[in-house]
């Protein structure tokens, strides 16, 4: 058979073109074209507007049949801040996050490779305006290609420690809650008789999702900058190895609607370092390695500077990792398709 020439199939609606990447196994689908420009004068206002008026983009690209339960996306938007090279809204199976570290690592490479910023020396700074604030990424270069990316977080802090919640089917569970651009509850998987690296994913998801539901119902989450940031994003189960060590410590993040992060979770690593620093378990400039319980992929992280977030003592955290390209695609829909808006299996 002769080679078929690429062309779009029959379609009735918008054509959404994307670049697909992954960081530590966690996917990122970056919208290149086809989506409207959201209304709003700030990135947070754009996030609200997209959630209320443009959710079809998220559903079409994240959900089946074009995506899957654990797909993750990035919609590039204009930023109101002059120092930002780009603004971004994060999408997942349930809605829109305020921060995503694995996405920032991927977007750093993308911004350099797609000409959103000009390469500079051995490392190019890229200021990415996320809903939580400006995150400063640094993209390294080697042999003419973008490589590893590190980023400096927004101020990260501990909201509370040793908080007891009543979790149905599991009894009383003691959690810590910390912020790394998004809020997470932290608890050792051993509390549930589980191991983050070897237990069945379904068992880990069930335990973490139950903790998330309990914390949402029983603990007041607040953020000094905006109520839009004041929600629990998910629960991170750890191996319990919070004391500093040169050996990797493993964790698994379950967020949104029981979505499983394949990477060590960039914003989760940020929050976990803030928590360890708060407890005196790690010092400034002391690098730790974090391993994903799902894929064994690695991020490194360290607290680099003390700061404040409202009344909270906070730290700026540096997280490093590597993203890779997996392909490009153009997605279409046909209006008579009864499943054109996307779906998820429960």
| Residues annotated as catalytic (active site), given as ranges | 100
End-to-end CA, the chain = 41
* DSSP letter, residue 228: G
Separation in Å, CA 13 to CA 16, 39, 46:
9, 21, 23
Classify residue 283 by burial, with Cβ atoms within 10 Å: 0-12, 13-18, 19+: exposed
Q: CA 25, CA 1: separation in Å to the nearest integer?
A: 35
Q: Which of 207, 193, 186, 191 is nearest to 276 (CA)?
A: 186
Token look-up 């670049």 returns 19
- Residue 168 tokens read as 């149905």
SS3 labels along 190-202: HHHCCCCCCCCHH
- Residue 16 tokens read as 């959404």
Q: Tell me if the bond preceding 65 is cis, omega within 30° of 0.
A: yes
Half-sphere exposure of 271 (CA within 13 A, CB side): 33
Q: CA 214, CA 95: separation in Å to the nearest integer?
A: 20
Any residues with CB less than 8 A from the CB of 77 and at least 6 apart, and which? 37, 38, 43, 46, 87, 88, 89
- Residue 1 tokens read as 């058979």
* DSSP letter, residue 57: H
Residues β-bridged to residue 330: 17
Element (H, E) at 273: helix 266-278
CB 201 within 8 A of CB 25: no
Q: Which of 193, 205, 274 is nearest to 240 (CA)?
A: 193
């Amino acid at each position: 058979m002769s080679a078929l020439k690429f062309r779009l199939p029959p379609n009735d609606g918008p054509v959404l073109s994307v670049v697909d990447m992954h960081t530590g196994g966690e996917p990122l689908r970056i919208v290149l074209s086809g989506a409207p420009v959201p209304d709003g004068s700030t990135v947070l206002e754009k996030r609200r507007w997209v959630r209320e008026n443009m959710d079809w983009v998220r559903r079409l690209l994240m959900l089946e049949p074009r995506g899957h339960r654990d797909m993750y996306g990035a919609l590039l938007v204009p930023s109101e801040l002059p120092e930002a090279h780009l603004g971004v809204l994060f999408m997942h199976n349930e809605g829109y996050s305020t921060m995503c570290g694995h996405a920032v690592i991927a977007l750093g490479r993308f911004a350099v490779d797609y000409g959103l910023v000009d390469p500079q020396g051995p490392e190019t700074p890229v200021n990415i305006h996320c809903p939580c604030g400006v995150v400063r990424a640094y993209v390294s270069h080697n042999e003419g290609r973008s490589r590893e990316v590190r980023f400096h977080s927004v101020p990260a802090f501990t909201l509370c420690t040793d908080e007891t919640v009543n979790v149905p089917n599991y009894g009383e569970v003691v959690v810590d809650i910390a912020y790394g651009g998004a809020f997470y509850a932290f608890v050792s998987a051993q509390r549930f008789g589980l191991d983050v690296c070897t237990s069945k994913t379904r068992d880990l998801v069930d335990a973490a999702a139950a903790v998330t539901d309990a914390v949402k119902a029983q603990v007041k989450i607040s953020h000094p900058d905006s109520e839009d940031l004041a929600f629990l994003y998910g629960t991170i189960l750890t191996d319990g190895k919070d004391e500093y060590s040169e050996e990797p410590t493993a964790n698994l993040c379950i967020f949104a609607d029981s979505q499983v992060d394949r990477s060590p979770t960039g914003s989760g690593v940020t929050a976990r370092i803030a928590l360890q620093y708060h407890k005196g378990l790690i010092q400034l400039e002391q690098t730790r390695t974090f391993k994903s319980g799902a894929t064994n992929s690695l991020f490194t992280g360290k607290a680099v500077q003390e700061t404040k977030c409202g009344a909270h003592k906070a730290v700026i955290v540096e997280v490093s990792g590597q993203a890779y390209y997996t392909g490009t695609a153009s997605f279409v829909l046909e209006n008579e398709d009864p499943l054109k808006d996307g779906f998820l299996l429960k």
